[in-house]
A and B are shown apart, each in its own frame.
Chain A
Amino acid sequence: MSELLRVTVDFDRSHLIFPTLIGGILILLGLAILLTHRRAITGAGAMWAETLAGMDKIRFFGTLVLTIVYFLLMVPVGNLWPNTGLGFLICSIPFVALIGILYMHERDARGLVPMLIVSVVAPTIVWWLFTYVFALTLP
């Protein structure tokens, strides 16, 4: 028995021991889940169709698209004025405003004006705080 449990660790390959072990356990658990949750897994297609049909597609995908565009633009815009954090400020104002408009229900002046004020003021405060008070770089 004690011979069975004996292991020698080769230091050069020791970085693979734990990942292999965890990977193996994950595969075993995955198989167990496949067996015990057959019904849920075969019904996955229907679940996703239902989720897609029930979701607010414009708001959900709108959030994702706006976020990706925001991330992509931040660095190139910031490189125009290096080390000022202006890339963050310039991109955040329209981002906050657009997401706000996306999430609004009644897009009338009574709702829009406070939202637009917040979308200018909030990024500016944050930008000022991080750039001047905390002295941390923003894109």
Chain B
Amino acid sequence: MAIFEFLTPMFVFLIFAGTLVGIIFGAIPGMTATMAVAVCLPLTYSLGLDNGLALLLGLYVGGISGGLVPAILLGIPGTPSSITTTFDGYPMAQRGEGEKALRIGIVASLIGGLVSLAALFFFAPALAEFAIKFSYVEKFLIIFFALTVMAALSEDMLLGIFSGFLGIFISLIGVYDVTDGGNGQYRLIPPGTEYWLESGFSLLPVLIGLFGLATILEGAEAGMPKGQSLKDIEVGAHSRFSWSVFKGQVANLLRSSGIGTFVGILPGVGGSAASILSYTATKTSSKNPDSFGKGNPAGIMASEAGNNGLTGGALVPLLSLGIPGDSTTALLIGAFTLQGIQVGPLFIGNNPMTWDSMIFAMLIANIFMFGIMYFAIRWLAMVVAVPKHILFPVILMMCVIGAYTINYGIMFDVWTLLIFGIFGWLMVKLRLEVAPFIIGFILGPSAEIYFVKSLESFGTLSIFFTKSWIAMLLWVLILGSVIGSALLARRKSRERAAGTSG
């Protein structure tokens, strides 16, 4: 059997370890799935692609799921994607139904994960098949579309677009690479820094800086707020969990998983949007919406099925178009680059075994996630109280190792980590958006090649509009996302104005 070529004990163990560590990262407020993947990336060098991905996918699934533990027990979301879990989970815990609430969340997470995995399995190859026919023109427009969607969903569209273009700009620093058809000339390098910036900033130190170091700096700025002591945590053993709570909730679970998956497929839109949208949809379609926010189990189900639905969805654009669906999958691009594999429309066809192994890894990770969280719920509750002064210094050290070993020992990569750590902290202060910046940074060099080569071959800008019906459709989508976002922003500001006057 072919699957036993990757399905080794080591493979299964790495998924288990990844899922467990991911859950722990997710369960500690202030630490996210993205951070878990960033910190563990250097471990994947010597593991090989299949095993390395097994670890990282475990971390991803575990990290997204772990956030529900503090969300329910303390009312503090462990990760941004579990914000809506607090709305109904915490009131339940206060009523002494903590364990019941946790188990509801865990089951919903599993369902969300499996539904989105099915979507990934069927949808990604089809999309890739379609995308193989794309020429440089369509590829360029796809990237442009990804950036506008992300910017459109940003808090402030203008700042979102600006962040995306800033990412592209910074990615262009260095040489115009000959291997991609460039002319080998330097550009945007400040005089005197050619030695360090010849090939620009490396992707992984930038990512680790933005997601690892910047988070720690934010924590330090806030004075490393003390964690909860074990005494504050009330699991509530008296509440009995029974499967009957899911009766009549199948529609809710499927809808929320579907919304989560769809949000995941949209490039660069993170888990918080997935859970907020599915929570709102469930609340508005409920017969008694007033019971939400007061401990209605359906709210936990919607939120958790939604954010776990993200996991499979976010991998769809990554594996079919080479565009990451969220910030964690952006880090996975780094893992592929480390192994010298390019993700894009050809990926699944050229690497059928890696594709199979990823699907299996996701499936096994979801099962482990369920097993670990369902049966070890009491120990997990304690993880919430792990002191940050022990964890953060070690994470900081892991960030440094990651940056240093990425190109086999270049100290400038470590300084890149620091530069982008501080930059990431500044971005939050300046209300710039990290997700569009990252996507711009990752896709910038490809966008350049697609754009310039299209002009070289066709000699006219009109080719971007007239190349094919796909190009025209993409323009419709691009305009649609910009106009839609502008209308939404206008409605929001009008509501705000009405709120202040009334």
Contact = CB atoms under 8 A, between A and B. Distances in A.
Nearest to B465: A5
Interface string A48-82: 10010001100110111001101100110000000
A48 to B, nearest CB: 8
Nearest to A26: B165
A103 B460 contact: no
B448 interface: yes
Contact of B169 (A19, A36, A118): A19
B350 interface: no
Contacts of A18: 172, 447-448, 451-452
Interface string A103-115: 1110000010011
B461 A7 contact: yes
Given A59-B220, A63-B220, A96-B397, A15 B460 contact: no
A25 B459 contact: no
A115 B418 CA distance: 24
Interface stretch (B156-164, B243-251, B370-378): B156-164
B136 interface: no
B390 A100 contact: yes
Interface in A1-54: 1-2, 5-9, 11-12, 14-19, 21-23, 25-26, 29-30, 32-33, 36-37, 40, 47-48, 51
Contact of A115 (B187, B390, B444): B390
Nearest to A40: B431
A8 B459 contact: yes
Given A7-B461, A33-B162, 15 more contacts: A5-B461, A6-B461, A7-B460, A12-B185, A26-B162, A55-B222, A56-B222, A71-B414, A95-B393, A103-B388, A104-B387, A105-B389, A136-B408, A136-B409, A139-B409
A63 B216 contact: yes
Interface in B195-251: 216-217, 220-224, 226
Interface in B434-449: 444, 447-448
Given A15-B176, A96-B394, A104-B389, A60 B409 contact: no
B254 interface: no
The B interface, classified by DSSP as helix, strand, loop or mixed, is helix
A46 B224 CA distance: 24
11 contacts: A14-B452, A15-B176, A15-B185, A23-B169, A29-B161, A30-B162, A111-B387, A114-B390, A130-B405, A137-B409, A138-B409
Contacts of B462: 1-2, 5
B363 interface: no
Quick one: which of A9, A63, A64 has the most chain B CB within 10 A?
A: A63
Contacts of B401: 88, 126, 130, 138
Contacts of A32: 158
Given A5-B461, A23-B169, A26-B166, A103 B405 contact: no
Given A36-B158, A100-B390, A29 B220 contact: no
A51 B426 CA distance: 11
Contact of B220 (A15, A62, A92, A123): A62
B45 interface: yes
A112 B442 CA distance: 42
A123 B389 contact: no
Q: How extensive is the interface on chain A, given as a class?
A: 35 or more
A16 B389 contact: no
A81 B94 CA distance: 57
**Shortest Cβ-Cβ A-B pairs, 4 listed:** A56-B223, A15-B176, A103-B389, A99-B393
A14 B184 CA distance: 10
Contacts of B452: 9, 14, 17-18
A8 B444 CA distance: 22
B165 A15 contact: no
Contacts of B162: 26, 29-30, 33
B360 to A, nearest CB: 25
B134 interface: no
Contact of B459 (A6, A70, A95, A102): A6
A37 to B, nearest CB: 8
A126 B176 CA distance: 37
B404 interface: yes
A42 to B, nearest CB: 14
B158 A14 contact: no
Contacts of B186: 15
A71 B400 CA distance: 9
B290 interface: no
A2 B172 contact: no
Given A19-B188, A138-B405, A7 B221 contact: no
B221 A60 contact: yes
A68 B418 contact: yes
Contacts of A11: 183, 456
Contacts of B184: 15
A114 B448 CA distance: 51
Contacts of B42: 130
Contacts of A135: 46
Most buried by B among A37, A99, A103: A103
Given A33-B159, A118-B390, A136-B408, A71 B397 contact: no
Contacts of B460: 2, 5-7
A40 B462 CA distance: 39
A75 B408 CA distance: 14
